[in-house]
C-alpha cells in the first residue's frame, strides 16, 4: 500500500515540478537571448549611424528598463529616443517619450523635472488622449509641489473639458481634484469628487479606481469625524485590495485604518494596523527590489552574451519586455524527471501484477 501511495505521488508531483522548472528556465533564456540581441542591434545602429533603427532600439531598451523597475536606465534611453525624435521633427513620438520620462521622474520624486517634461509633452501632443494624460500629470505634479490652485485650474479648465467619452481620463480627473481639495482641507468638495470617481469606476468595473476612491473617501470621512462610514469604506477597499493582490494599496489602507482608530481613542487597534501597514509596505518594497535585481541579472547575462557573440544577431522578440523569476536549477529538475519516469514504470508494473496476486 505504501509503495502504491509513493508511486502515485512521484507520478503526479514530479512531472509538474519538471514542467514548471522547464518553462521558467525557457522564459529566462528567451529574455536573456532577446535582450542580448537588442543590445547588439543598438550597438550596430550606433556604429552604422542608422537613426531610425537607433530610435527604435532606444525605445525598446527604455521600455524594458521601465517594466523592470530600473527607472534611471529607462530615463536615459527615453531621452536618447527623444533627442532623435526631435531632430527628425517627429512631434507626436517626442510627446510620447516626454510623458514617459515625466512618469519615470515622478516615480523618483523629481517633481520639478517631471513637470518640465509633462509640460513639453502637452505642448507637442497631437492626440486628445495624449493631451489629457499630460494635463492630468501636470496637475498631480503641481499638487506634489504644493501648487494647489494651479493643479485645480489645469483639471477644471484644460483636462475635464476635453475628456468627454473617455471614462478613464474622467476618473483620473476626479481623483486628482479629490486629492487636491483634501490636502487643502476642503472636505465637502473632496468628498464630492471622490464619490464621482467611485461611481464612474464602478460603471466601467475599474477595480483599481474603486479602491483609490474608497481610500480617498475613507480619509475625508476620518477628517470630518465620520468614523463609522470611514471604516466601512476602508473595509471594502481592503477587501478589493486583497483580491487584487496590491500590497502597496493595502499598506495605504492599513495606515488609514490606524489613523481612524487613533482618532477614536482605540490605540491598541491603531498600533496593530500601523504594524500591518509597515509589514505590507516592506513586502511591496521587497517585491519591487527583487524584480529589479532579477532584471539586473538578466542585463548582466545579456551583456556577457553580447561580448561573446558577433553583432549580426536576430532581432529581439517581444517577450524581452517581461521579467520573470529566476530559472530553476536544472540538476534537481533532471533528477525529478528521471524519478517520475521510474515511478511511472513501477506504477504500471504494480498494476500488471496485481491481478496475478488475486489468483
Are 84 and 61 in contact by the 8 Å Cβ rule? The answer is no
Q: What is the pLDDT of residues 49-69, one digit of tens each?
A: 889 999 999 999 999 999 999
For residue 117, give the DSSP letter. Answer: H
What integer pLDDT is reported at residue 314 of this predicted model?
A: 46
Arithmetic mean of pLDDT, 138-162: 97
User: For the chain, what is the largest distance between any 2 Cα atoms, rounded to a whole number of angstroms?
Assistant: 92
Looking at the predicted structure, is the pLDDT value of residue 328 above 90?
no
To the nearest whole percent, how much of the chain has pLDDT over 70? 77
Q: What is the pLDDT of residues 271-284, one digit of tens each?
A: 999 999 999 999 99
pTM summary value: 0.76
| Triad 284, 285, 288: Cα angle to 5° | 85
**Whole-number Å distance between alpha carbons of 44 and 40:** 6
Helix (H, G, I), strand (E, B) or coil at 231: helix
| Triad 173, 246, 295: Cα angle to 5° | 100
What integer pLDDT is reported at residue 308 of this predicted model?
A: 66
Least confident of 68-77, 258-267, 298-307, 338-347: 338-347
Confidence tier at 339 by pLDDT (50, 70, 90):
low
What integer pLDDT is reported at residue 97 of this predicted model?
A: 97
Looking at the predicted structure, is the pLDDT value of residue 23 above 70?
no
Looking at the predicted structure, is the pLDDT value of residue 26 above 70?
no
Q: What is the pLDDT of residues 203-215, one digit of tens each?
A: 999 999 999 999 9
Looking at the predicted structure, is the pLDDT value of residue 111 above 80?
yes
Confidence tier at 7 by pLDDT (50, 70, 90):
very low
What integer pLDDT is reported at residue 244 of this predicted model?
A: 92
Q: Which is the CATH superfamily of the domain at 52-147?
A: Tetratricopeptide repeat domain (1.25.40.10)
Q: What is the pLDDT of residues 293-319, one digit of tens each?
A: 999 999 999 988 887 655 454 454 444
Between 44 and 14, the more confident residue is 44
Arithmetic mean of pLDDT over the chain: 84
Residue boundaries of the structural domains of the chain: 52-147
Arithmetic mean of pLDDT, 319-335: 42
What integer pLDDT is reported at residue 345 of this predicted model?
A: 59
Looking at the predicted structure, is the pLDDT value of residue 14 above 90?
no
Between 336 and 342, the more confident residue is 342
Residue 256 Cα to chain centre, angstroms? 23
Are 328 and 24 in contact by the 8 Å Cβ rule? The answer is yes
Confidence tier at 342 by pLDDT (50, 70, 90):
low
- Mean pLDDT comparison of 65-74, 187-196, 305-314, highest-scoring range: 187-196
277-286 in b/e form (b: 16+ CB < 10 A) is: beebbeebee
Amino acid at each position: 500500500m505504501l509503495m502504491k501511495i509513493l508511486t502515485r505521488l512521484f507520478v503526479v508531483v514530479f512531472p509538474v515540478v519538471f514542467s514548471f522548472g522547464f518553462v521558467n528556465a525557457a522564459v529566462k533564456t528567451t529574455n536573456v537571448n532577446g535582450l542580448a540581441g537588442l543590445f547588439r542591434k543598438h550597438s550596430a545602429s550606433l556604429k552604422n549611424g542608422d537613426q531610425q533603427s537607433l530610435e527604435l532600439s532606444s525605445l525598446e531598451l527604455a521600455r524594458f528598463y521601465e517594466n523592470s523597475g530600473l527607472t534611471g536606465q529607462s530615463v536615459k534611453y527615453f531621452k536618447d529616443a527623444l533627442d532623435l525624435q526631435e531632430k527628425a521633427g517627429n512631434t507626436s513620438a517626442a510627446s510620447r517619450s516626454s510623458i514617459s520620462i515625466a512618469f519615470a521622474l515622478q516615480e523618483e520624486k523629481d517633481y520639478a523635472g517631471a513637470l518640465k517634461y509633462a509640460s513639453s509633452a502637452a505642448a507637442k501632443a497631437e492626440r486628445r488622449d495624449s493631451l489629457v494624460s499630460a494635463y492630468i500629470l501636470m496637475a498631480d505634479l503641481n499638487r506634489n509641489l504644493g501648487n494647489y490652485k494651479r493643479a485645480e485650474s489645469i483639471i477644471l479648465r484644460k483636462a475635464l473639458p476635453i475628456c468627454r467619452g473617455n471614462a478613464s481620463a474622467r476618473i483620473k480627473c476626479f481623483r486628482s481634484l479629490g486629492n487636491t481639495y483634501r490636502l487643502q482641507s476642503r472636505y465637502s468638495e473632496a468628498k464630492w469628487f471622490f464619490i464621482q470617481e467611485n461611481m464612474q469606476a464602478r460603471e466601467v468595473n475599474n477595480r483599481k479606481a474603486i479602491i483609490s476612491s474608497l481610500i480617498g473617501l475613507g480619509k475625508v470621512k476620518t477628517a470630518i469625524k465620520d468614523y463609522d462610514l470611514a471604516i466601512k469604506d476602508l473595509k471594502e477597499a481592503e477587501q478589493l485590495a486583497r483580491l487584487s493582490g496590491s500590497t502597496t494599496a493595502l499598506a495605504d489602507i492599513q495606515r488609514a485604518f490606524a489613523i481612524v482608530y487613533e482618532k477614536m481613542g482605540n490605540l491598541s487597534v491603531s498600533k496593530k494596523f500601523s504594524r500591518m501597514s509597515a509589514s505590507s509596505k516592506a513586502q511591496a518594497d521587497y517585491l519591487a527590489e527583487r524584480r529589479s535585481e532579477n532584471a539586473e541579472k538578466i542585463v548582466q547575462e545579456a551583456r556577457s552574451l553580447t561580448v561573446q557573440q558577433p553583432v549580426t544577431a536576430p532581432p529581439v522578440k517581444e517577450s524581452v519586455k517581461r521579467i520573470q523569476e529566476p530559472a530553476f536549477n536544472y540538476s534537481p529538475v533532471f533528477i525529478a524527471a528521471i524519478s517520475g519516469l521510474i515511478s511511472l514504470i513501477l506504477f504500471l508494473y504494480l498494476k500488471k501484477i496485481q491481478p496475478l496476486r488475486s489468483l
